[in-house]
Structure 1
Amino acid sequence: MSQAKETRRRKSVEAQTAPNRATATIEAIIEAAERLWGAHGIEGASLREISIAAGSANKSSIGYHFGDKQGLIRAIFEARIPALEDRRRPLLAAAEAEGKLDDPITLLRIAFLPVFEEVDRHGRHSFAAFLRAINRFAQWDGRTGIQQLAPLASAAFNILRQKVSHMPQDLVEARLRLANEICYGAITDQDDNPPATGPDPVLATKMFEDALAASAHLMLLG
């Protein structure tokens, strides 16, 4: 094979593999950010630390692919939410068919059960931990966009808001934030068990159901 042909062949192979490398880098950064921010809070892990954890030799890779911290946060939501919404669709349809859309626990289950079922490749609820961190991160400016990305979860919460519309709005929103904290805390409760024992699925499910009941009671308090 001539040198010119070999050069063309090599460039063709590089052109075909470059998108795959970029996709792998993006996925690795998203996974690392979700894990580190979930464990340490949004302010507890820098973009540089995330880049290192993702195995990226290029320190500017996050800026190149996501722009900034807010862009990376949005990318995590965009990567995870569609699958959660797919799981919420039959839950919402079943609740409507059974006439349970006025039941606070049912509405909260529609919102949180898919998050409870979502685990990473290590069997941990890293996305729930990330959501808990976001719930505490006042500087996050993309909440409206996320509501648009997750219309079914938003619908469940809006129905719940309507049930308590007689209460002051700031009280309702404060209780919803606390309900998020309770449910995400319950979802991640078993993740820190020693590796030898691992999560107890029976206890994890009981904790989750208790969190739904406690949150529903909280929302309906006078």
Structure 2
Amino acid sequence: MSPRADAAAGAGGRRQRTEQSEQTRTLMLAAAERLFAEHGVQAVSNRQIGEAAGQGNNAAVAYHFGTKTDLVRAIIRRHSVRTEQIRRRLLVAHSGSGDLRDWVACVVLPITEHLTALGHPSWYARFSAQLITEPGLLEVAAEEFQDATGLLAVMDGLQRCLPDLPEDVREERIHMAHTLLVHFCAQRERDPSPAWDAVAAGLIDAMVGLFIAPVT
């Protein structure tokens, strides 16, 4: 075989190994997301993830991702790219708005539209619910989203619509709204045919009501 043919064969082999590695990573991400959503992040071992992904090697997860925290980060990133794209599209439509409902929609729709695109079954909402109930995981998620410029812009727009709320009340209600969004979507994700458009409409109504409720 000529040197050129050797080089071509070597490149082809490397390409095939890279594709196989990416396929393995994708399978493990999907398996981990499902198992974390069903059982909780701390209750699931790397061995269980590897087995669910069809990997006989118990070290496969550590080889491809590192620690369990690194795996959680990878799952977050798997979804954050798409939700940020939706959020940026909504920002273009509502950037000059002073209507609270528009900004609440910018919070809700990136999640529900992404869940619609994922089809059924999906595990993203239930995985997200695990993140916000475990302080250590919530910190990991916050680190992943700290540079999400679309999300930061949405939160700025939302807060500009709430000038009459005391700062501590505003922060508390934003936390309430986020909890409602995540856990209600997690609940609806269990349905055989979740109607995400209807879920979004109901959430937007409820969250607007939460923000404009009187302070006692």
TM-score for the superposition, normalised by structure 1: 0.78
Distance 1:37 1:154, change over 3 A: farther
CA distance in 2, matches of 1:37, 1:78: 15
Counterpart CA distance in 2 for 1:176 and 1:49 is 36
Letter in 1 for 2:185: I
Deviation at 1:187, TM superposition (A): 2.6
Aligned-residue CA RMSD (Å) = 3.0
- Greater displacement, 143-152 / 75-84: 143-152
For 1:63 and 1:90, the matched residues in 2 are separated by: 36
CA–CA distance in structure 2, aligned partners of residues 44 and 175 of structure 1 = 31
Q: Of 203, 206, 215, which aligns to 1:211?
A: 203
Change (3 A) 1:15 1:165: farther
SS of the residue corresponding to residue 113 of structure 1 reads helix
Q: Report the CA distance between 1:116 and its aligned residue.
A: 0.9
Distance 1:112 1:154 in 2: 14
Question: How far apart are 1:149 and its partner, in Å?
Answer: 4.2
The counterpart of 1:183, out of the listed 181, 184, 199, is 181
Tell me the equivalent position of 1:117: 113
User: Deviation of residue 115 (structure 1)?
Assistant: 1.4
| Structure 1 residues 173 and 146: alpha-carbon distance in aligned structure 2, compared to 1, 3 A threshold | farther
SS at match of 1:118: helix
Paired residue secondary structure (1:139): helix
Q: Which runs of no fewer than 5 residues in structure 2 stay unpaired?
A: none
The letter of the residue matching 2:154 is: A
Give TM-score scaled by structure 2 length: 0.80
Q: In 2, are the aligned partners of 1:84 and 1:114 still within 8 Å (CA)?
A: yes
Query: Which of 150, 153, 156 is matched with 2:154 structurally?
Result: 156
Q: Does residue 63 of structure 2 align to residue 50 of structure 1? A: no
Question: Per-residue deviation at 1:11?
Answer: 5.6
Check whether the contact 1:42–1:133 (CA below 8 A) recurs between aligned residues: yes
Structure 1 residue identity aligned to 2:67: D
Unaligned runs of 5+ in 1: none
Deviations along 1:119-145, one digit per CA (max 9) or x if unpaired, are: 476523422221121111111232443
Quick one: which amino acid aligns to residue 133 of structure 1?
Answer: Q
In the alignment, structure 1 residue 129 sits paired with structure 2 residue 126: yes
Return the alpha-carbon distance in structure 2 between the equivalents of residues 42 and 177 of structure 1: 22
Q: Which shows bigger deviation, 71-80 or 142-151?
A: 142-151
Stretches of 4+ aligned residues off by more than 6 angstroms: 6-10
